[in-house]
Amino acid sequence: MIRSVCGYCGVGCGLEFDEKKLVGDLTYPINEGVVCAKGVSELMTMQTPTRLLRPYVRKDFNSAWEKVSWELPLDLIVNKIKKSDPQKIGIYLSGQLLTEDYYVANKLGKGFIGTNNVDTNSRMCMASAVVGYEKALGLDYVPVRMEDLNRCNLLIIIGANPAEAHVVFSNRIKQAKKSGMKVVVIDPRYTETAAYADLYLPIRPGADIDFLNLVALRLITDNHIDHQFLENSVNGYDTYLKKIKKQPKTKLLKRTGLTKAQFEVFMKLFYENENIISAWTMGLNQSVQGVDKNLAVINLHLLTGKINSPGNGPFSLTGQPNAMGGREVGGLATTLAVHLGFDTESIQKVSSFWQTDKISDQVGLTAFEMIEAAERGELDLLIICHTDPIYHLPNRKRVEAAFEKIDMVVEINAYEDSESAKFAHIRLPATPWGEKEGTQTNMDRTVTKQEKLTRRSIDCKDDWEIFTLIGQKLGFSSAFDYQHPKEIFNEYKEMTRLSRKGHLNLYESDYDALREKPFIWGEKLYKEQGFLTPNHKASLHFIENLRLSETTNLKYPYMLITGRIKDQWHSTTKTGVVRQLLRHKKLSFVEINSSDAKVEGIKSGDIVDVMTARGTLSLSAVVTDAIREKTLFIPVTERKINYLTTDLLDHESKQPDYNQNAAAILKRIST
């Protein structure tokens, strides 16, 4: 029997494999034997007919793919790197990668090619949370763990749907509810999570800041704030107070679309419960004011002192299995490595550690900024690794046109049916979950080891190995002489000593020991040394709803929001294959409120056109009261969804505003 960890979502459940089947690991503290349908399907997705098993090259998008050995594509890539200005090279990584893959790709790009244009699809997922935590608490650090639910009295879930997206975490919420914890869900959709909440608030899309400011104002008015905590541990209270007091309460409430009675029930719950956790994901992060929405949540915890004690705090839930590991390694273009930036001291430290003089002090291009660079003809080479930007970046027509301008697009993937494959010149087959080993960090800083369960498919390579080969062919053999993920982990672990005050204490972990016992980094942080800011105090930031998102109008009177659905994963390259076993939900549909459907003459099952300023999609309608009036919902498993979405970005996190798209709906075919 082999113990491993699920590679689907940020919960990171422990699994047991006995050659025939995969089951939950009873001894693993995160899930204690419980797994969801995605977790148990991992085994089935390893050998699907859609696996990419050989390297392929072609001259242009219209030519046929040619099956080749590894030598040719690697030489083509290396020659292209040698001929290109490093600033015209981009590497786009994924929260699906293991930490060792991330580490080698980041070291190659930032340390040796000399481009900081190394970003990750986590940019689309929780970049706003990263910046929010840094601005408020001084560090990209999640100060809550899942086990805190056992001490929590009130869980506020805003812009998240764990019952469908983080299933085993949702089970833990239900367990905690049995012990008396109350749950509030704030969401424009009545989701499966809302169904078990004690209070559901059907907020209007885009009104989160208004709601959170209203709560802050009320806490201050009722003197329900922690003066001592504010005095000892928080900067900026006086300025915050002056500004928040000027916010118009009645207008704020009106914008939320909630009634006064609903708001009062919420406040009563807030006052009656001692320990409070707020949890959120894409509903807040994927916004033109995503960072501000994070800060508005964190403000409530700073005002009340409900942070850094058991059962309290702001808890950003990460979507992907190793989004956190990528953040730690430096997989975001806005960080260099181990939470260090591009200041002179950090560059010196990292240069000395990697023995290189090639690190640029220019902050890298984030995902969508690479698209903008491509539009200007300033991207010669893009290496995509284990992700599908043509599918998931917003405003797809624009992204496709930009890709056509890139000289060379390389796709490293375990599956062949990505949307990005249509725009690639080279495809390299990588090992999927179960054929490789390495470490990953889940959403509450738990570092675990994924194990190799079977031999790898003949012509596939681990992602770290592909970047190692490129590094060697570029002439950096001594910096890239890895034979095994353990060597990479050990190098990375040493590097974590460079982190500020050694806060990223992976240097205390042991690769082999992770097989038996996960390691949780930063357990004592904040509690012992205060926040990681110069004066060890957190910062309140006054936030207001600047209403920068797209707004509805006569032509596009609906607000289109997006989200995940149960048992499916992103682009469905894996889960789509086993969907016959997971058939309780369709992959593609549009939800419309029943009163809107009546006005539009739409019935469930009708084929409708959904239109935005960017494109039109034909979809099957689902008429339901689970969605607010004047709001439409399409799941992200609809492969063409981003022909509709806006490319507005948060100006700090560069995360797209996927959840506010002005749209129209029109019936095409009746059923």
Q: Using the rule CB under 6 A, is 167 a contact of ligand SF4?
A: yes
Segments of 529-636 assigned E as strands: 538-539, 558-563, 590-593, 607-612, 615-624, 631-635
Q: Return the number of the residue (6 or 649) whose C-beta is nearest ligand SF4.
A: 6
168 binds ligand SF4 (CB under 6 A): yes
Select 146 or 207, whichever has its Cβ closest to ligand SF4: 146
Report in angstroms how near the CB of residue 427 gets to ligand SF4 at its nearest.
27
Distance CA 582, CA 575 (A): 9
Question: At how many degrees (to 10) do helices 37-46 and 167-178 cross?
Answer: 160
Q: How many CA atoms lie within 13 A of 337 on its CB side?
A: 33
Q: Among residues 350 and 565, whose Cβ is nearest to ligand SF4? A: 565
Specify burial of residue 116 (Cβ count, 10 A radius: 0-12, 13-18, 19+). Answer: buried
Q: Measured from the CB of residue 646, what is the shortest distance to ligand SF4 in angstroms?
A: 29
Q: How far is the CB of 11 from ligand SF4 (least distance, A)?
A: 4
Is residue 639 involved in binding ligand SF4 (CB under 6 A)?
A: no
Binding mask 8-47 for ligand SF4 (x = CB under 6 A): xx-xxx-----------------x---xx-xx--------
Give the separation between CA 196 and CA 373, rounded to whole angstroms: 46
Distances (CA, A) of 236 to 140, 244, 245, 418, 517: 20, 12, 14, 47, 41
Binding mask 120-159 for ligand SF4 (x = CB under 6 A): ----------------------------------------
For the residues of 141-160, what is the DSSP string, one character each?
-----GGGGGG-SEEEEES-
Question: Shortest gap between Cβ of 506 and ligand SF4 (angstroms)?
Answer: 21
Instruction: Report the residue number, 99 or 612, with the smaller CB distance to ligand SF4.
Output: 99
The distance of closest approach from Cβ of residue 203 to ligand SF4 in the complex, given in angstroms and rounded to an integer, is 26
Which residue, among 448, 439, 437, has the nearest Cα to 520 in the 3D structure?
448
For residue 371 the two structure tokens come to 């698209």
The residue number with the shortest CB distance to ligand SF4 is 39
In what helix (H) or strand (E) does residue 351 lie, and over which residues does it extend? helix 344-354
Question: Is 149 or 225 the residue whose CB approaches ligand SF4 more closely?
Answer: 149
Q: How far is the CB of 281 from ligand SF4 (least distance, A)?
A: 13
Q: What are phi and psi of 386, to 5 degrees?
A: 60, 35
Smallest gap from Cβ 588 to ligand SF4, in A, equals 21
Near ligand SF4 by CB under 6 A, which window of 166-174, 305-313, 341-349, 367-375? 166-174
Residues 364-403 that bind ligand SF4 (CB under 6 A): none
**Cα separation of 15 and 321, whole Å?**
14
Cα-trace Rg, the chain: 24
Q: Contact with ligand SF4 (CB under 6 A): which of 4, 6, 253, 338?
A: 6
Query: What is d(CA 350, CA 334) in angstroms, rounded to the nearest whole number?
Result: 15
Residue 204 touching ligand SF4 (CB under 6 A): no
Distance CA 498, CA 512 (A): 23
Query: Toward ligand SF4, which CB reaches closer, 515 or 640?
Result: 515
Residue 43 CB, shortest distance to ligand SF4, in Å, is: 12
Binding part of the chain for ligand SF4, among 130-138, 163-171, 184-192, 495-503 by CB under 6 A, reads: 163-171
- Which residues, numbered 584-603, are part of the site for ligand SF4 (CB under 6 A)? none
Q: How many CB atoms lie within 10 A of CB 416?
A: 19
Strands 538-539, 590-593: pairing kind: unpaired
Candidate segments 1-9, 191-199, 365-373, 470-478, binder of ligand SF4 by CB under 6 A = 1-9
CB of 584 to ligand SF4, least distance (A): 16
- Nearest CB to ligand SF4, comparing residues 113 and 183: 183
Amino acid at 612: T
Stretch that binds ligand SF4, among 72-80, 165-173, 225-233, 260-268 (CB under 6 A): 165-173
Which positions ≥6 away from 457 have C-beta within 8 Å? 51, 53, 429, 431, 435
Q: How far is the CB of 166 from ligand SF4 (least distance, A)?
A: 6
Please tell me the count of residues contacting ligand SF4 according to CB under 6 A.
Answer: 14
User: Which positions ≥6 away from 121 have C-beta within 8 Å?
Assistant: 92, 93, 94, 95, 320, 367, 387, 389, 392
Give least dist CB 486 to ligand SF4, A: 23
Task: Closer to ligand SF4 by CB, 189 or 566: give it.
Answer: 566
Please check whether residue 307 is in contact with residue 301, taking contact to mean a CB–CB distance below 8 angstroms: yes
440 vs 496, which CB is nearer to ligand SF4?
A: 440
- Bridge partners, 627 (sequence order): 189
Give the nearest distance from C-beta 464 to ligand SF4 in angstroms. 22
Tell me which DSSP letter residue 110 carries.
Answer: I
Least distance from ligand SF4 to the Cβ atom of residue 216, Å: 32
Site for ligand SF4 in 434-473 (CB under 6 A): none
Interface residues with ligand SF4 (CB under 6 A)? 6, 8-9, 11-13, 31, 35-36, 38-39, 166-168
